[in-house]
Amino acid sequence: MELNANNGEGIDSWKEVTLIYSAALRQVETKMQILNDEFQHVHQYNPIEHIKARIKTPESIVKKLKRSGYESTIDNMVKYVNDIAGIRIICSFTSDIFRIATMIGEQRDIKVITVKDYITFPKTSGYKSYHMIVTVPVYLSDRTVETKVEIQIRTVAMDFWASLEHKIHYKFEGDAPEHIRSELVECAKLVSDLDARMLSLNNEISELSQVRDEIPAADSK
């Protein structure tokens, strides 16, 4: 693995890349935790189950640059690799995905660059997730660096499926046997059906709970 120095956004070493992108991840993760806490306070409900954060390895970045035909420099890394910093937000229900995406978009110091909605438009493999590329300001002692973070939002069931699909992809180097690919697509349909049924069940429970809570108030009049 080799990354040549070049002044991408004033960043000139892998050590500084790690510093800046780790800071960006902490900012986004903290914002999500605060929003989740606020949602619990206002609505007595947490849309976020848990959060996973990671920095892409230098080896993975170099491979991605080479696949795209770019020289392995810090400058090209910062300019062309959008997922050096990645955060995955796992929620219970599909409705939470869009709720969280809206909350992210309304943050004043988060700028949404691109959105890929694989929930409404799944990949042919069956993959479903909501992807956002955003930038957040990282304030250093001598400058501010607008830093890109990839945010993926998905349900617990979608994350389970995606984890297995990822393992299979690397196990067979992107060329899995046809019967395994077909089985994955079928599993994706089951996951989608499960998410829909769980959301419907949760909505019904919420409606029944609301009716039950209103009964004592009506009787006390």
Find tokens 């409900």 and name the residue.
Answer: 45
Q: What is the pLDDT of residues 50-61, one digit of tens each?
A: 999 999 999 999
**Domain hosting residue 135, numbered range:** 14-158
- Report the chain's mean pLDDT, rounded to a whole number: 89
* Whole-number pLDDT of residue 171: 81
Residue 221: inside a domain, yes or no? no
Structural domain contains residue 86: yes
Q: Is 5 a residue whose pLDDT tops 70? A: no
Q: How far apart are CA 44 and CA 50, in angstroms?
A: 17
119-131 tens-digit pLDDT: 999 999 999 999 9
* Within-domain flag for 137: yes
192: in domain? no
Predicted confidence band of residue 103 (pLDDT cuts 50, 70, 90): very high
Phi/psi at 11 (5° precision): -90, 125
How would residue 1 be classed by pLDDT, with cut points 50, 70 and 90?
Answer: very low
What is the reported pTM? 0.87
Task: Give the pLDDT mean for 161-187.
Answer: 88
Assigned domain for 28 exists: yes
Q: What is the CATH number for 43?
A: 3.30.460.10
How far is it, in rounded angstroms, from Cα 148 to Cα 87?
11
Give the integer Cα–Cα distance in Å for 96 and 99: 5
Question: H-type helices in 44-115, by residue range?
Answer: 58-67, 74-80, 94-105
Residue 79 within a domain: yes
Beta strands in 77-200 (DSSP E): 85-91, 111-117, 130-139, 144-155
Listed residue (139, 149, 10) closest to 74, CA to CA: 10
Beta bridge partners of 133: 114, 150
**Could you give the number of structural domains in the chain?**
1
CA dihedral over 54, 59, 62, 67, signed as positive or negative = negative
DSSP 8-state symbol, 198? H
Q: Cβ(69)–Cβ(133) under 8 Å?
A: no
Within-domain flag for 212: no
The amino acid occupying position 17 is V
Structure confidence at residue 34 (pLDDT): 95
The pLDDT, as a whole number, for residue 216 is 61
Specify the amino acid at residue 48: I
Using CA atoms, how far apart are residues 198 and 159, in angstroms rounded to an integer? 15
Is residue 214 one of the residues assigned to a domain? no
Residue 212 pLDDT greater than 80, yes or no? no
